[in-house]
């Protein structure tokens, strides 16, 4: 039963971003390899190029980086962080668990909420590699930078480690993986988000 429910939840998560992932893989420069010169979209399949209209399945960017962070990574990492002090199985179900705004109190609550948050964070790593996204200051997401790609991989790995910790149903594993997640967030923030006034402040975000 648990597997079936988890599978369903995964399909919901994965379904949303599946097209994005396919296109990102097709269009984005290969991670961790030498980068082509500007215009990586030239790697898109011939069918996706040179036509007026984008194909229906084209990955689309809808928010800036800050919105992706606030909308996906912030809430999902908090689900994991909360499990450092509260056993997920003890979280009381919402009055209507099908309408719960806290994943831990929903029908997909308990350890499964940890698993799902891990998947959400790993999938969100793909969203950090879609061409065309900008940061809140208008600067392009620096997805061609080797360290950016490394930090994205760190997030992906931390997400999947969270998924496994959820599957293990072990408090120690979740406490440990919380540290892995916050380190993955911090590694990138230290370089691309935290900018002192001397470094140029918010206008210098997403640059080095």
For 22, 66, 102, 125, 171, the CA distances from 72, given in Å and listed in that order, are: 20, 10, 13, 10, 24
For 69, 94, 139, the CA distances from 135, given in Å and listed in that order, are: 10, 35, 5
* Total residues in contact with ligand HEC, by rule CB under 6 A: 25
Q: Is 136 in the site for ligand HEC (CB under 6 A)?
A: yes
Q: Is 74 in the site for ligand HEC (CB under 6 A)?
A: yes
Q: How far is the CB of 87 from ligand HEC (least distance, A)?
A: 21
Q: How far is the CB of 61 from ligand HEC (least distance, A)?
A: 13
Q: Which is nearer to ligand HEC, 119 or 152 (CB)?
A: 152
Q: Is 151 in the site for ligand HEC (CB under 6 A)?
A: yes
Q: Which is nearer to ligand HEC, 77 or 82 (CB)?
A: 77
Distance CA 28, CA 121 (A): 19
Q: Do 135 and 64 form a contact (C-beta atoms < 8 A)?
A: yes
Distance CA 104, CA 166 (A): 12
Question: Which of 59, 91, 185, 204 contacts ligand HEC by CB under 6 A?
Answer: 185
Q: Is 17 in the site for ligand HEC (CB under 6 A)?
A: no
From the CB of residue 125, how many other CB atoms can be counted at a distance below 10 Å? 22
Distance CA 142, CA 147 (A): 9
Q: What single DSSP character describes residue 140?
A: B
> In this structure, what token pair is assigned to residue 37?
């010169």
Question: Which of 77, 82, 126, 178 contacts ligand HEC by CB under 6 A?
Answer: 77
Stretch that binds ligand HEC, among 6-14, 30-38, 102-110, 151-159 (CB under 6 A): 151-159
Mask for 92-131, x = binds ligand HEC (CB under 6 A): -----------------------------x------x---
Distance CA 47, CA 70 (A): 34
Binding site for ligand HEC (CB under 6 A): 64-66, 69-70, 73-74, 77, 121, 128, 135-136, 148, 151-152, 155, 181, 184-185, 188-189, 192-193, 205-206
């Amino acid at each position: 039963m648990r597997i079936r429910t988890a599978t369903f939840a995964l399909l919901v998560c994965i379904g949303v971003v599946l097209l994005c992932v396919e296109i990102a893989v097709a269009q984005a420069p290969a991670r961790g390899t030498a980068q082509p010169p500007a215009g990586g979209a030239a790697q898109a399949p011939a069918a996706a190029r040179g036509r007026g209209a984008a194909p229906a399945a084209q990955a689309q960017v809808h928010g800036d980086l800050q919105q992706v962070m606030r909308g996906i990574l912030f809430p999902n990492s908090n689900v994991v962080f909360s499990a450092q002090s509260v056993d997920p199985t003890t979280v009381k179900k919402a009055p209507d668990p099908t309408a719960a705004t806290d994943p831990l109190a929903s029908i997909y609550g308990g350890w499964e909420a940890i698993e799902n948050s891990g998947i959400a964070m790993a999938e969100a790593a793909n969203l950090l590699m879609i061409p065309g996204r900008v940061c809140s200051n208008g600067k392009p997401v620096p997805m061609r930078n080797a360290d950016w790609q490394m930090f994205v991989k760190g997030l992906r790995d931390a997400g999947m480690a969270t998924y496994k910790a959820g599957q293990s149903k072990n408090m120690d594993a979740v406490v440990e993986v919380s540290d892995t997640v916050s380190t993955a967030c911090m590694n990138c923030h230290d370089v691309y988000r935290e900018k002192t006034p001397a470094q140029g402040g918010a206008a210098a975000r997403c640059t080095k």
